[in-house]
Structure 1
Amino acid sequence: MKIKSQKDFWAGLMFVAVGLAFAWGATGYSFGSSARPGPGYFPFGLGILLALLGALVLLGALTIETEDGEPVGRIGWRPLGIIVGSIVLFGVLLPWGGMVIALPVLVITSALAGDEFHWLEALVNSVVLTLLSYAIFIWGLGLTIPVWPKFVG
């Protein structure tokens, strides 16, 4: 069988592998029932759905003809490094600087990974996401995430 779309083939294979890994990992938790689901119920279902979605993408990659076979391009190491670095920076800054500092730093440094970085867009996004995160996680869910930097009190 010939691969007709390399991008779809590898993406589908990745979805199947990650979905099955999550479903398998969820089997270590209690499933409960449909009326009272346990901690393994939701991750198992999502893992199976992700694996099925990956199987559909994989099937399409093997059956639907593309013009040039859609070869997989080079790995973007710079954007990947910037994104991973910004997540690590967020994890380091959150306990010390709180959400007010850590989240805007995460958004702005992550935006640097893109080809079309604009300061105004990054700043507006960071403010909106910080306000929404506060509303959802602190006010709505009542989580105990540090909001303000330690030096503010």
Structure 2
Amino acid sequence: MKMTRDIHDIVGGLLMSAAGLFFALYGREYNFGSADRMGPGYFPVVLGWLLFGLGLLLAIPAWWRQGSPIVLQWGNLFWSVASLLAFALLLYPLGVALAALAASLVALIATKMALRTRILVSLAVAALTTVIFPIGLRMTLPIWP
């Protein structure tokens, strides 16, 4: 009997470790400082090494653990990318509120939610996007057409 390793956690842990190692090594370009007088390199180096260690703690035990095989869900991938493209193409002609609404509706095509639920979720996403980005963060984005 062939054992299927926990590929999800192995790949995820190794990617976390790689990202942590990158930031830990890249942060050394800046002045590190000390714990009481932190320099600009302190935060990325410390968090990079923490992320590196956590990634290894996730990946190493997964090598001996049985997991399920990876199944690519092409439909979800397609609708996610289509949603991002819809938002990018509709942002300036329609504004943040309507672009977020349309993008959310496109992303939810792959789900089995009822139409009413999709519309309510999309309205909530559009409202939150509008409140956070152009209003809260004061980004210079049109809210409406």
Aligned equivalent of 2:99: 102
Map 1:86-125 → 2, pairs under 5 A:
86-114=83-111, 116-125=112-121
Map 1:4-83 → 2, pairs under 5 A:
4-21=5-22, 23=23, 27=27, 38=40, 47-63=48-64, 65=65, 69-83=66-80
Q: Is the 8 A contact 2:134 2:141 kept in 1?
A: yes
> Which of the two has greater helix per residue?
2
Alpha-carbon offset, residue 141 of structure 1:
1.9
SS of 2:68's equivalent?
coil
TM-score (norm 2): 0.74
Percent identity, aligned pairs only, is 27
TM-score (norm 1): 0.71
User: Which 10-residue stretch deviates more, 4-13 or 78-87?
Assistant: 4-13
Q: Which runs of 5+ in 2 are unaligned?
A: none
Alpha-carbon offset, residue 81 of structure 1:
1.5
Q: Which runs of 5+ in 1 are unaligned?
A: none
Aligned equivalent of 2:139: 143
> How many residues align structurally?
141
Q: Structure 2 CA distance, aligned partners of 1:122 and 1:138? A: 24
Q: Structure 2 CA distance, aligned partners of 1:133 and 1:139? A: 9
Alpha-carbon offset, residue 104 of structure 1:
0.6
User: Which 10-residue stretch deviates more, 79-88 or 125-134?
Assistant: 125-134
Alpha-carbon offset, residue 7 of structure 1:
2.5
The aligned amino acid for 2:143 is V
Q: Structure 1 CA distance, aligned partners of 2:67 and 2:80? A: 25
Q: Structure 2 CA distance, aligned partners of 1:96 and 1:29? A: 42
